[in-house]
A and B are shown apart, each in its own frame.
Chain A
Amino acid sequence: MTTQKVKKRLAVVVFVAIGLSLATGLAMFGLAGSVSFFITPSEVLADPGLRGRPVSVGGLVTLGSVRNDRGVLVFTLEDDDAGIGVAYSGASGPTPDLFREGQCVIAQGLVDDQGVLQARRIMAKHDETYTPREISAAPRLARSCGTASVGQ
């Protein structure tokens, strides 16, 4: 092999190494504290260690629980076994048009010390045929968010 070829190969290896290290480093830096686990209300109640960490909670909006408390949307999110309170102040926009009681939604945010989810974002279905994967896969939501959705 000529020195030219060796140099060229070395350059390629060095570049790939730099690129991969940069990408990995940045990814790890970014992931710290930005990844949000998907759980159900029962798991929120069962594990106090989840307080203060970003979570996505999926569940059914309990009938009759939605109210507006001085500009903050308050409702109860339930799964087959338990329910938690959720408060959403509208930080990332109005609630999706298909948000209503009896609908299954995902609320993302932090659980405070009182066990209430301070939601930063609410995701509901955007049309009748679509259900987020996490909801259809969660065992504890089988009854609440099953195929026979209430109040649609």
Chain B
Amino acid sequence: MTAIVTPDWGGWLLGLATVCALVQAAVGFRAGVVARAQDVGPDVGVGPDLGQGVDLGVARRCALVGFVATAAAFGVLIAAFVTSDFSVQAVAMYSHVDKPLIYKIAGAWGNHEGSMVMWCVVLSGVGALLARRTGQNRALGPAIVTTALGVVGALSAVFLLYTVIVSNPFSRLVEPPWSGAGFNPLLQDPAVALHPPLLYLGYVGLAAPFALACAVLVHAPNGGARANATTQRDRVQHVEGQSVEERAPKNQSAQLQRAQVQAWAGAMRGWTLCAFAALTLGIGLGGYWAYYELGWGGWWAWDPVENASLMPWIFAAALFHSAMVTQRRNRLASWTIVLAIIAFSLSLLGTFLTRSGAVTSVHAFANDPARGLVLLGILALVLVGALALFAGRAERLATTAGQVGQIAVSSREGLLVANNLFLVVAALVVLTGTLMPLFAEALGQPVSVGPPYYEKAALPMVALGFVLTPFATMAGWGRALLWPQRWLIGTVAAAFGAVVVAMLTLGAPLGAGVAVALGLWLIGGALLDVRAKVSWGASGRGASGKEAAGRSAARLAWARPQIFGAALAHFGLGLVTIGGAAESAFQSSRTVVLRPGQSVQTGLGAIRLDTVTEIDGPNYTAAVGSLAVDTGADDSGAPGSGTPDSGSPDSGAQGRSLAFAPEWRRYWVRDQNTSEVDIRSGVLGDVYVAFGPPQLTEGQDVAWTVRVLEKPLIWMVFAGIAMVAGGAGLAARGAWRSPMVGGDKNGG
């Protein structure tokens, strides 16, 4: 098989994909130019005179062929890694004969060149999906879809050219080495293997709302739909499912505009929710890996590359909340479009920061200023181009038709606007901190910005957002919060205060107390939301004419699960907040140096190192420490209450002794060491033991450093993140469909 399909095919396939992408871009560009030249709106149907049907067909075929070609190229690359074909430069640099098979495969995308190919695969995949979603495309109209495909094609072409020219993974070596140089043991881990694909689904997924936003801007009609009357009627029939006679002619353009806006806002919302779910999982997986692998028990370090993934995540959240307002109430259309542009630009910024070495980070792949400059150029082109398009065309969006008066501050729209404000400010603050080292260095004095900045500056905005969240789910569209709901504010404030005081008595800092209270508030709000939706469904208002009233909650959850998506996600946020606060406020840490057979008494109990045995793994030798640790806890692994090393001698008598077997590994290939922690998880928290490095003491005995951490409620952090992703994915299910006519405040 390898004799027929050589790695050179990879390069040719990428070239084919580039050609398809260029044709796609040209076709999309043509559709836009023609529409503007003839000054027609996007509601114009398939007309042979405008050739849009033909254009769409060409664009769709290019998108599909391009995706197949790019995916095949990626397959060729993976095959080269799997067979350890060291004549391919990327394989020689990043793989090794002794790597287990699954990490050889993951190694294909665990480096700069290979991951750029994966980026291109996902981007062309987005294009292919955009092309295939016929329901969505009917509602949007061929003009917008063609231009959107064109934008995706242009982006694909740019990135494919970048990959092929600047970072080609298929370049060959004349003299292949025997075994390969790529063997970082830290990267041989299932979480690390899955982390990039999930992140890329998120980053690149945001290209879809971006492309839709650009297409909407290009095709925004010049003040009302000056379109062919017959085709207009055809579209109206198609979209609204009603006959033309039922509607007065003067309302046609308003209804049409409303339907159009609902279509693109819904599509943007759906795509963003999917990208957001993937990005959430990717970030969560990275945090989880850092927790169990790096040995310091932390899961988020406000590292510049971590922040680079957080910023598109925040903007994506702002985007789907804003798109909801646009879809339901025909408002904030321009704002939604700006958010779509910025969110994708932040994805590109993230790519630039990660790959260029411009900021010091534990994640940076390598220092390559040349590649970084090209990426920066691409980012500038995309951002400036899209913003220029926006500046020129935003006024034509003209969605005043269908808007009802002013936004009441405590209506759902008003609260969502506030939500957007807080999210965007938080993201700006994170952006400032992340880029500050870059600017400071340019000005001569290098600086670094640490976690205290982010905690002080960004978290207050997040907290404010969390306060408003349950109110927003309770509020109705288009009307202020009802008085009974306002009464809630007083009760809630009192309960809040009570929780904070309780936390302070337990010895937590004020911030942790507030965080726990907020988390409980979010969870309570989510449960109230579920209850409201269930009763709404049971009353039959959510049912279409065919379905009977009085359905049970279970049937509602089965038939339309997407309405519970928001509640699930908000519940998850609450869990993350509580877990994060508990583990940082109440964690305890003990570090001791022990020889085998030695035991030490600490304030929280004894730590005993029984034996150290040497075992051999597939590509390493490990020293396994057999430890007995008193945790001042019961046998579920629950840690005791917070104060570390309090010095009272009898606290060790309370708890059980837990056994641990952490390892200190030495990998043969590079004489590189890692420590593998052992974790005992329980409902009340984790006990986390790290082992090594060894030291020679006087008398030439080997002593080992042992570090014991107790992390209360840490499982809530990761469970909560998973729930946020799940909730977003669930909500995506119904996002594309226009909401029902006359939907109540608690509907979908």
Contacts and interface: CB of A to CB of B under 8 A. Distances in A.
A97 B673 contact: yes
Interface residues of B, number: 56
Contacts of B360: 106, 123, 132-134
B463 to A, nearest CB: 12
Given A37-B445, A93-B298, A130-B366, A27 B433 contact: yes
Contact of A30 (B400, B421, B433, B441): B433
Interface residues of A, number: 41
B450 interface: yes
Interface in B289-343: 294-298
A126 B362 contact: yes
B601 interface: no
Interface in B641-685: 672-675
A19 B424 contact: yes
Contact of B429 (A23, A127, A136, A137): A23
B453 interface: yes
A54 to B, nearest CB: 7
B693 interface: yes
Contacts of A22: 421, 425, 461
B453 A34 contact: yes
A18 B457 contact: no
Would you call the interface of chain A mostly helix, strand, loop, or mixed? mixed
Contacts of B675: 94, 97
Q: Which of A29, A30, A33, A123 has the most CB of B within 10 A?
A: A30
Contact of B295 (A93, A106, A130, A137): A93
B636 interface: no
A72 B690 CA distance: 16
Contacts of B436: 31, 35
Interface in A56-107: 56, 68, 71, 90, 92-95, 97-98, 106
Contacts of A137: 441, 446
Interface in B262-309: 294-298
A4 B364 CA distance: 50
B457 A35 contact: no
Interface in B95-111: none
Interface in A99-132: 106, 108, 123, 126-127, 129-132
B457 A136 contact: no
B454 A30 contact: yes
B366 A56 contact: no
Contact of A36 (B186, B448, B707): B448
Contact of B457 (A15, A27, A54, A126): A27
A127 to B, nearest CB: 5
Contacts of B593: 68, 71
Contact of A34 (B417, B428, B452, B707): B452
B452 A90 contact: no
Contacts of B295: 93-94
Contact of A108 (B448, B457, B458, B674): B448
B364 A130 contact: yes
A29 B456 contact: yes
Contacts of B445: 37-38
Contacts of A54: 450
Given A30-B429, A31-B453, A133-B357, 11 more contacts: A15-B421, A18-B421, A27-B432, A34-B453, A35-B436, A35-B447, A35-B449, A93-B294, A126-B362, A133-B446, A136-B367
28 contacts: A19-B425, A22-B461, A26-B457, A26-B458, A27-B428, A30-B455, A30-B456, A31-B457, A34-B449, A34-B453, A35-B436, A35-B453, A36-B450, A68-B695, A71-B592, A71-B593, A92-B296, A93-B296, A93-B297, A94-B675, A95-B693, A123-B362, A130-B357, A130-B364, A134-B441, A136-B367, A137-B441, A137-B446
Interface of A: 4, 15, 18-19, 22-23, 26-27, 29-31, 33-38, 54, 56, 68, 71, 90, 92-95, 97-98, 106, 108, 123, 126-127, 129-134, 136-137
Top-8 shortest CB links A-B: A93-B296, A30-B457, A34-B453, A38-B446, A23-B428, A30-B453, A30-B456, A26-B457
